[in-house]
Amino acid sequence: MKINIKKYNSDWGKQFAKQKIELSYILQKYSPRIEHIGSTAVPNLSAKPIIDIAIGLNSMQEIDEIIPIMIDSGFIYISAYNSIMPERRFFINLKNKEKFKQEYKDVNQIPDEEFYLNKISNIHFWVVNSQEWTRHIAFREYLKFNEKVRVEYQELKETLGNQNWASGTAYNKAKDTFIKQEEHKAIQWYTKKSY
């Protein structure tokens, strides 16, 4: 499958804001911290037109409590990734939700291409201020600040987007070396900036 990389669209911020209102209401009992992350959160960066949302809660216990709430609210739970990333719970928001199961427990059962064609957003739950939370916030802020890295990342994504991929996961793995290298710098930069 091809990955559809689009030029930056200021509407992505509006799409995030709309979803943030909905998620804040659904999760109000937990006072969540909700952040727009990923490439759609970075002005002037091309991206897949899928909004990435980070939701920070106070503990893994709270995160596990929200699973039935999110499913009942129509979000698709990808529990298959729990063993790969045990500190994260991952949901997706789709158009045409009725075509899909409420939960996918097996990586091999995930309909990657159908998800990609119907995906509105990826929703990642982490403990707020955990290492994973901070890594994503730092990388977003670093890309906003560092034009050279932002341009290099955009060129990589556009090149990779023109190739055929077995899945979105395979595309993400192809970006991994660049991201890990720059995330390390981003975390150092963000940590110094925060103090």
pLDDT of residue 194: 65
Q: Residues near 117 by Cβ (< 8 Å), separated by ≥ 6? A: none
> Tokens representing 20?
């943030």
pLDDT of residue 79: 98
Letter for the amino acid at 108? N
Burial letters for 42-67: b for 16+ Cβ neighbours within 10 Å, e otherwise? beebbbbbbbbbbbbbeebebbeebb
Return the CATH class of domain 11-194: alpha beta
> Tokens representing 57?
């809660």
> Which of 61-65, 114-118, 170-174, 190-194 has the largest mean confidence?
61-65
pLDDT of residue 2: 86
Confidence of residue 167 (pLDDT cuts 50, 70, 90): confident
- Write the pLDDT tens digit of every residue in 101-148: 999 999 999 999 899 999 999 999 999 999 999 999 999 999 999 999
- Write the pLDDT tens digit of every residue in 18-41: 999 999 999 999 999 999 999 999
Return d(Cα 46, Cα 40) in angstroms, integer. 8
For the cut 60, the answer to whether the pLDDT of residue 192 exceeds it is yes
pLDDT of residue 195: 57
- Write the pLDDT tens digit of every residue in 47-85: 999 999 999 999 999 999 999 999 999 999 999 999 999
> Tokens representing 28?
């109000």
Contact 53, 34 (CB under 8 A): yes
pLDDT of residue 71: 98
Q: Residues near 34 by Cβ (< 8 Å), separated by ≥ 6? A: 20, 23, 24, 53, 54, 55, 56
DSSP string, 48-114: -S-EEEEEEES-HHHHHHHHHHHHHTTPEE-GGGTTTSTT-EEEEEESSGGGS-SB---GGG--HHH
Beta strands 51-57; 33-37: pairing state: antiparallel
- Mean pLDDT value across the chain: 95
